Amino acid sequence: MGVLRSDKLRAAAEAHVPATGDALVVVVVENAAEAFAAGLAVAKNWPLYTRKTGGERDERTVYVDFAVADSSEVDYEELTKVAKAVRDTQRRVDTAPCELTTSIYVAEAQALVERLDDPTVSITIIQGEDLREQGFGGLWGVGKAAEFPPALVVLSRVPETVEKTVALVGKGIVYDCGGLSLKPTASMTTMKSDMGGSAAVLGAFEALVTTGAAPTTAVHALLCLAENAIDAKAYKNDDILTLYSGKTVEIVNTDAEGRLVLGDGVAYASKHLNPDVVVDIATLTGAQFITTGTVHAAVLTADEEVEAKIVAAGKTTGDLTYPMIYAKELLMPQFESKVADMTNSVKDRMCASSAAAGHFVEAHLDAEFTGAGKAFLHVDIAGPSMSAGRATGHGAALLYQFTKNF
């Protein structure tokens, strides 16, 4: 997809398109702000990943331009870079799980850092047995049965002057069969998308670095990568895992694995990265479909200012969100265990279970991550991450805009 930058380029495209079969899309908008969301929406319609052969492949270049009613200036450079990051997010989510194992995903993150070639950007990888030895009981427990090892990947952009720090934590279950609590076939299909949160985090990080947005904000992108698989080493219902937070979790459903890896992720972020806000994003619960539907992500936070900012970021980018109830004192008892600090699944699925899952993740923040100026935000994108069998890239532009405005 190409984005046009002038009338001269549009004229050239108009002359070029009829001869090549390429396409020109002109979007009419009221102002430049509308062009941002509209441009991202158009970009999502031409996903990158396909394994179709022959004549079914669409090899066209699609040129996009805007007719702006109030003559305000569209920032084509920002739009182009964010659109690329969103389409990269779609590609990762659409990719077949045999082509995006945890090890390949780690290599892709490393390749992105090399491509960015920015002295403020670095990467830390904790993988395989090192996770177990360092106390990441969630990531290790969920991922130890798979052919390829689980990993925590931390990409960081730390500018010379830091005024704010944002930690973005993404669920990266590259495939989720449910573990020993095995999903039925109909529910298992499309579970390649269970890494959509990590893909959104990686896409947002790419966009923030390439655009130079939020130049005095340190950004840490944490990818919690594992495959929820079955073999002799698979974790079991009745197991008790000790997460990086030090809290113990009784397993009552191996298919509630995302919150376990996120628990490790937010614990690490809040303990070591000194963030002002920790944001986790995940395709976490089926209950999110019921809570906010297939277009709006569900968000949970105790901070009204942060809630307003994530809702505003959704309206700016088209990655819409809507708040869930915040009721920790009512919902955390749903995880009561007789033998551990908590279970990993609610007793009553009809009792705000999507919000409860967010509180579970929140429970693993470091004890010192508290007080004024510290905020936690949970984003569940289970519904809006896919549409008609294809990835939407939901979350990448959302996190970009939220961080830019934080």
The CA-atom distances, in angstroms, between 281 and each of 142, 299, 321, 361 are 18, 9, 12, 11
pLDDT at res. 58: 66
Length of the chain (residues): 406
Residues 279, 395 contacting (CB under 8 angstroms): no
pLDDT at res. 25: 86
- CATH 3.40.630.10 range(s) for the chain read 77-405
Per CATH, is 77-405 categorized as 3.40.630.10?
A: yes
Tokens coding 331: 């919902």
Q: Around Cβ 340, how many Cβ atoms within 10 Å?
A: 18
Place of tokens 């080493």: 233
Pair type for strands 342-343 and 321-323: unpaired
Catalytic residue among 92, 157, 259, 404: 259
Let me know if 183 is a catalytic residue.
Answer: yes
Instruction: For residues 404 and 81, give the distance between their C-alpha atoms in angstroms, rounded to a whole number.
Output: 14
pLDDT at res. 54: 75
Give the three-class secondary structure for 279. strand
Tens place of pLDDT per residue across the chain (406 aa): 555 445 555 665 566 566 666 888 889 999 999 999 999 999 999 999 999 987 666 677 888 899 999 989 999 999 999 999 999 999 999 999 999 999 999 999 999 999 999 999 999 999 999 999 999 999 999 999 999 999 999 999 999 999 999 999 999 999 999 999 999 999 999 999 999 999 999 999 999 999 999 999 999 999 999 999 999 999 999 999 999 999 999 999 999 999 999 999 999 999 999 999 999 999 999 999 999 999 999 999 999 999 999 999 999 999 999 999 999 999 999 999 999 999 999 999 999 999 999 999 999 999 999 999 999 999 999 999 999 999 999 999 999 999 999 9
Instruction: For residues 318 and 301, give the distance between their C-alpha atoms in angstroms, rounded to a whole number.
Output: 20
The DSSP code sequence of 206-221 is HHHHHHT-STTEEEEE
pLDDT at res. 4: 45
Flag whether the pTM goes above 0.85: yes
Instruction: For residues 39 and 26, give the distance between their C-alpha atoms in angstroms, rounded to a whole number.
Output: 10
pLDDT at res. 9: 54
Reference 190, options 93, 277, 260; nearest CA is: 93
Tokens coding 37: 């969301």
Let me know if 259 is a catalytic residue.
Answer: yes
Amino acid at 193: S
Helix (H) or strand (E) holding 52: none
Catalytic residue among 183, 328, 349, 390: 183
User: How many CA atoms does the CB half-sphere of 127 hold within 13 Å?
Assistant: 14
Give the three-class secondary structure for 405. helix
Residues 383, 299 contacting (CB under 8 angstroms): no
Place of tokens 């082509």: 99
Residues 88, 48 contacting (CB under 8 angstroms): yes
